[in-house]
Structure 1
């Protein structure tokens, strides 16, 4: 089915005249309407058709618009602004908010030939790991629509898994690229900080760890590599942006499996993990080893989980409290006001963040340093550290976060059932890839964690997993 073609295949076929981008966009727009996945908040049908017509005219004239020529793109309705198209942040008070300028990530993808279809669902301001809000409601994983798609980039992940886009954007403060990738069986990369500039305003300095990054999402590792090639590079608007590395991301996906070496931790020595997840990740790691890769199980000897949890909570909630103040000053909307039409969970997050003092915020960096060193030690001489993305498969939309995992009590919070936030604490780059499906057919993901600015090695390992354990034919509509 054309709606499940890879971005590389779409662009090549469009340039060769073998695929009409107009027909592909029409097929996806029809599918968006027919499927009812609730992946999108806003669909820009006419704008998409016009961009597709331009892509077709260019191909007929022998013009190459770039590596994403005619490729349908889903934009997360948070940081990926598009000029003239409403950006709601998943929040009712911003249902009619229309930015005048596009975000840098949007500009770079469009300049490479991508065709935006619309803006995807997100919880308000990306504040929680499930995609649900007061504006348009929840998004479920296409593998089981009554279960979470993850968050906060759940709309983008669900759109990819359901054939409603070819590539997508996401963002990540505590796992928002990787949680939905796991729940929807797609791939994503949380890049090294500064690699993909954000040029945020009014606070350009908010892009330092662990306050988040933007990043690409796709169904194949090669597509992820192509997107990363398009997105990296400095911008004067981001004081943390770094020069583009001398890297060949797409070429890295062709590295032979026999040259790949990974350290493996089934739980980071921190988490209780459900057996179904342990089995799926273990099988994927075994398949990688059987294909010729070097695999070594390792210990991760870092700070106590309670200390890590506190460090993340202090800095992440302070981030949302700061954001709430910016929103109030710029738009006159108090997200914590009793009558504000946002979720109680967002109000509670802002309230907690407002209670932290600057010194308490800053001293958490000592704990972060301890975990940063522990992860580096675990990686050692390997290309990457591999571990589960989530401790549980996608759980029902109607249920709260798990209060029991593998028979052990849990606090019903993100930090118990999701492993990605640890690497927001440390700042390591991470690729999440599908590991397999449970006996119930629910997706399980694994994280590939590497050294900062060594995304080439991460993509090489991720591609080796894809060859050893392919997932392209697992999608419900493929």
Structure 2
């Protein structure tokens, strides 16, 4: 029998929960039941899950418990409940909609390799989480399921495109969640929901995509963990990582464990503080929290400097480059679905979000010369960031330029069109994440504090490709001097009558 009440169980860090399961201090069956009860109570307000596999999760929990009694341990996630994004993260026989109404009845015939890997290492999948249509924007909303709210204010968006996963982790509806990141889709919702979200170096987490094996190259896209702590992030990252010869971008993992990075001293590391990443607009309330976070990182012995840096193009053009890339990717999806018997242009084109349609329509007129020019701009961005990282171990920035996005009533929630009078593209232009999808290097968002209005702000830490250990060392160091997890509680769900104390009031800039 557990020595925790149910509400305490679902708020435990995943690493501690996994340890207690291994030590037989809590049963996987009891854990799954606690999470399912939490989902029943909270998900109607947040809309994080679009489907819950309650019966399957209960059966898998019984199997996990039996295996433990027989002395068998599948892996580091044995018995740990997780959530999976409703995008390209298939489970055989489990509905997968891509957030698109016309796919409501789609049942995959096979399980995606990265999902198989998580299951093989013992994770129990509770359900699928909400995402915008084809994951095309930095907010989570669609005509099929509606918006996902951040637990800090359910009438404001969780961010996207992995918003359902981020909200589920923040609100205690799963221990860990899988997301995917092609322009910030793990880091953006992590920032807006007050959790940790990692985009690993491209190639460390294999992705098997067909018929286009090179689909994830422009920009670099991949999977990543969403968690409540940096230690939990490493736990899931190591579980998800691995070489797969079917992925042309996949690379072998380094010999050392990333867990070592959690305990590597950060003192002496040199960080470039780029408060606007060379030109992106950032709201004053977000900027104030990040300024405090930069100074807090110095208290861990990190050398924080603010070098001169400018993007090689206007921030609007840097964002439009991403929109052009993803418009081209959408063309590939349209053709793949058409070959499978669903012609989106003929069946439902006018019902898809206007921004998605515009990007795809524009991509159809691209010439080879246009594509090459885009690669020149991407190279210039790559070189500019690489030049900074020649002199510094990492770069820190805000994750997003604003901390809150109100939900729309029509299923088409997007971000702001301007920040302090500076125009931004509402799909992604209010975020400082996509430049690191051009480089392929690691980037993480960690909770930095709250604005005066009570919305969380994310601190983004990025480095050169395959220096994931540096990013994790800095994230862990920041978390130690500015702990957040124990305060990530919400009085309306974690009330005193459940044996918990109400969440403390956090001031702007406090971590």
TM-score interval for Structure 1 and Structure 2 normalised by the shorter chain: over 0.9
Which residue of the other structure, out of 428, 431, 439, is the alignment partner of 1:426?
Answer: 439
Deviation at 1:428, TM superposition (A): 2.2
Paired residue for 2:25? 18
Secondary structure at the aligned position of 1:417 is classed as coil
Paired residue for 2:488? 475
Paired residue for 1:244? 253
> 2:195·2:228 contact (CA, 8 Å) conserved in 1?
yes
Deviation at 1:279, TM superposition (A): 0.9
- Is 1:378 paired with 2:388? yes
CA distance in 2, matches of 1:441, 1:278: 15
- Is 1:387 paired with 2:393? no
TM-score normalised by length of structure 1? 0.96
Paired residue for 1:331? 341
Deviation at 1:412, TM superposition (A): 4.3
CA distance in 2, matches of 1:335, 1:428: 35
Structure 2: tracts of 5 or more residues without a match: 1-7, 495-511
> 1:15·1:62 contact (CA, 8 Å) conserved in 2?
no
CA distance in 2, matches of 1:32, 1:299: 47
CA distance in 2, matches of 1:77, 1:106: 12
- Deviation track 1:63-121 (CA, whole Å, cap 9, x = no partner) reads 22211111111000112111121111111111111112111111111111111000000
Which residue of the other structure, out of 121, 134, 148, is the alignment partner of 2:143?
Answer: 134
Which residue of the other structure, out of 262, 268, 288, is the alignment partner of 2:277?
Answer: 268
Paired residue for 1:452? 465
Paired residue for 1:2? 9
CA distance in 2, matches of 1:379, 1:267: 16
Paired residue for 2:501? none
Secondary structure at the aligned position of 1:321 is classed as helix
Secondary structure at the aligned position of 2:452 is classed as coil
TM-score normalised by length of structure 2? 0.90
CA distance in 1, matches of 2:271, 2:478: 11
Which residue of the other structure, out of 402, 413, 420, is the alignment partner of 2:416?
Answer: 402
CA distance in 2, matches of 1:114, 1:411: 40
> 1:196·1:214 contact (CA, 8 Å) conserved in 2?
yes
The number of residues matched between the two structures is: 477
CA distance in 2, matches of 1:329, 1:101: 18
Secondary structure at the aligned position of 1:473 is classed as helix
CA distance in 1, matches of 2:471, 2:152: 26
Secondary structure at the aligned position of 1:171 is classed as strand
CA distance in 1, matches of 2:124, 2:269: 35
Deviation at 1:226, TM superposition (A): 1.5
Secondary structure at the aligned position of 2:447 is classed as strand
- Deviation track 1:373-420 (CA, whole Å, cap 9, x = no partner) reads 1112222343211000000111211375323313x2314424431111
Report 1:269-348 matches (<5 A).
269-305=278-314, 306-335=316-345, 337=347, 341-348=351-358
- Is 1:87 paired with 2:96? yes
Change in Cα spacing, 1:349 to 1:474, as seen in structure 2 (3 Å) is farther
CA distance in 2, matches of 1:385, 1:113: 35
Q: Which moved more, 1:153-162 or 1:348-357?
A: 348-357
Deviation at 1:337, TM superposition (A): 5.0
